[in-house]
Amino acid sequence: MNRYPLWKNLLVLAVLLMAGVYAMPNLFGDDPAVQVSAGRAATIDLALVNEAETALKEAGIEYKGVELEDGRLLIRLTSADSQLKAKEVLSQTLPADYIIALNLAATTPDWLAALGAEPMNLGLDLRGGVHFLMEVDMDAAVKQALEGYASDVRLTLRDEKIRYKQIKIDKQKLIVVFRNAESRDQAETLISRDYDALQVAVLDDETVSALQMQLTEVTLRETKTLALQQNITTLRNRINELGVAEPTVQQQGDSRIVVQLPGVQDTAQAKKILGATATLEFRLVDFEHDVQDALNGRVPANSELFYHRDGRPYLLNKRVMLTGEHVINAASTLDPQSGSPAVSVTLDGKGARAFSNVTRDNIGNPMAVVFIESKTETKEVDGELVKVRRQVPEIINVATIRDQLSKKFQITGLDSTTEARDLALLLRAGALAAPIEIVEERTVGPSLGQDNIDQGFASVMIGFAFVLVFMLVWYRVFGFVANLALASNLVFIVALLSMLQATLTLPGIAGIVLTVGMAVDANVLIFERIREELRIGNSPQSSINAGYGKAFSTIADANITTLIAAIVLFGFGTGSIKGFAVTLSLGIITSMFTAIMGTRAVINLIYGRQHKPKLSI
């Protein structure tokens, strides 16, 4: 009645052993390390290993070892101080194409690593680093989309020889003013036929013949979604260029992005690179019209007035020859002729073809490189502080096109090597689809992270100890068996977190503490049911069988409802809430196994072979 077959006992033992193996790497700790990754044009090889070791030895920095794995170089250091010194030395020694980041390297033995056993990841609140919550300017994303349609509509009207006065964007609406109602009606038919993404309406105004266009609901939703996804991709690229090990970039809600950078303490540099919305435009200089007339307010219809960074005004064509989105690689360098800072640019196939055609047709004409940066300012409007975004364009270089340019060329006219390096980074990572604003910022120091680990571990151990004492005193031998199951449950949770490579955070530790208390609920129900069966005169063996059998449905109902709540938390929560939901869910699942099947196996071994045992419960 109360005996498991051999295979079931072996199954319980095998699962426990496997959990122990995969939980074990978390006992060995980490080494402070420096990680060297290759940029686009760099390679990780033995020559780099020798160069790095030589630099560290010359600087007198002790290190434990150097490893080449997964296309990266990992240098293990003896302390956090030597880690920082090693990063500084390598940053000065190795070429700029290499990305150098601080990291923590697990000290897992080789035999465990061969089995795929790795320690779980620690979250930002336990490891230290920088947390940003960023909001995407969706209005700017919609405006950029409308600007693209405005350009297309302008070309369409010209091709069809439909005369118009003005095309402008006003409050997420594209307005085209025509010379007469006949031209307006022709344009309405043409645009309604060719542009499914636009809702076209006639402005009801007797004095003006105009069309009003705005994005359809479907297109508006797609535009915002694409802007958010492109910004996430761009931020990931920028973080990779910054050289941050194991970053987190994830969507939160419809317009926000969470960025966590473990190990980073320089928030100013991180904010500068992540929040930068700078991009480049290449435009032809309008040399046919007088700049002075433009300064007096008479700007030609197909031109715009820009200023060089030294203050000189220029008239540039509205049509953009090339934008930064076609750049596939960029590297800071020095101009061989002047020795000034420069950026070497490589274009993709589409950009190279377009740039080649335009420069071929304009040899001998001047071309300007426009650097456009989006800035956020806080102004007081009607007594309230309002954040206003504005674009600050400036010409960084004007040069005459001497030859037909194609896939590779140089940008000169930069102020410093730092500006050249930052511009190259932004071009490599790509432009943001819409400006972003940092709405929340937190910095967790490494020492505070260690304090959080210590306090979290202490909370788990204290809760664990109180539960152990209570169960042992109240249920005696059966309580001892429940305590074994509870200890096994903690091992299972840690093993699953490690196998899934989940990230443990402070709320995750709270989930484990809650699980410690909840894990014995099932055993309490079972043991009280056994006591009740004994009180009504049933035999010990029948009482054990009834206790486990009749309490199962109640235990299942209680745990399933809690699991549903945890799944909802994971589905709709973000960040730390997800961490709490993960550990709570895993704890519920493992506690069902240990509290029911695990304790039953031990109880069967103790009392199963006795005819009329005296139960210590």
Amino acid making up residue 56: L
Quick: pLDDT tens for 454-476.
787 788 788 888 888 888 888 88
Q: Counting beta carbons within 10 angstroms of the beta carbon of residue 413, is it exposed (0 to 12), middle (13 to 18) or buried (19 or more)?
A: buried
> Rounded to the nearest 5°, which phi and psi values hold at 167?
-125, 125
Quick: pLDDT tens for 117-146.
888 877 777 777 788 888 888 888 888 888
Q: What is the pLDDT of residue 315?
A: 92
Task: List, as one string, the DSSP characters of 265-313.
Answer: --HHHHHHHHH---EEEEEEE--SS-HHHHHTT---TTEEEEEBTTS-E
Q: What is the pLDDT of residue 129?
A: 77
Q: What is the pLDDT of residue 46?
A: 86
Quick: pLDDT tens for 214-253.
888 988 888 888 888 878 877 887 776 666 666 788 888 8
Q: What is the pLDDT of residue 18?
A: 93
- Residue 47 confidence class, pLDDT cut points 50, 70, 90: confident
How much is the average pLDDT of 264-276?
A: 64
The Cα-based distances of 500 to 255, 453, 490, 519, 570 in angstroms read 29, 20, 16, 21, 15
| pLDDT over threshold 80, residue 610 | no
Amino acid making up residue 612: K
Q: How far apart are the first and last CA of the chain?
A: 19
| pLDDT over threshold 90, residue 502 | no
Amino acid making up residue 219: T
- Residue 266 confidence class, pLDDT cut points 50, 70, 90: low
Ranges 233-247, 412-426, 533-547, most confident: 533-547
Q: What is the pLDDT of residue 524?
A: 87
Is pTM, for the whole model, over 0.75?
Answer: no
Q: What is the pLDDT of residue 387?
A: 62
Of 370 and 421, the structure prediction assigns the larger pLDDT to 370
* Cβ atoms of 425 and 478 closer than 8 Å: no
| pLDDT over threshold 60, residue 41 | no
The structure tokens listed for 347 are 């274009």
